[in-house]
Amino acid sequence: MTDLDPTALLELAHTSMPFGKYAGRPLMQLPEPYLLWFAKKGFPENRLGTLMALALLIKSEGLEHLIDPLTRPAGPNSKTVQ
């Protein structure tokens, strides 16, 4: 990934795994070994794969703190995204 889409971090913060053992779990909460397995086998060739690769990059660089503020509700009337 050479260019970072400006909305990618926000999208990553609010996207859940749609299938498999970790279905329903936010991508940033996927275990790093699981993401590494996908990296070795090949990420899906769609937006999900791009976001999974970004999640792995962020985790491997210890930058999870970049996503944390994006997952918190913005104010008293905000709803938690599942």
- CA distance linking residue 53 with residue 12, whole number of Å: 10
Q: Which domain holds residue 49?
A: 31-71
Q: pTM to 2 decimals?
A: 0.80
Within a domain: 8: no
Assign 26 to helix, strand or coil.
strand
Within a domain: 80: no
pLDDT digits (tens, 9 = 90+) for 1-57: 446 676 899 999 999 999 999 999 999 999 999 999 999 999 999 999 999 999 999
- CA distance linking residue 37 with residue 71, whole number of Å: 25
pLDDT digits (tens, 9 = 90+) for 41-72: 999 999 999 999 999 999 999 988 888 888 77
Based on the structure, what is the number of domains in the chain? 1
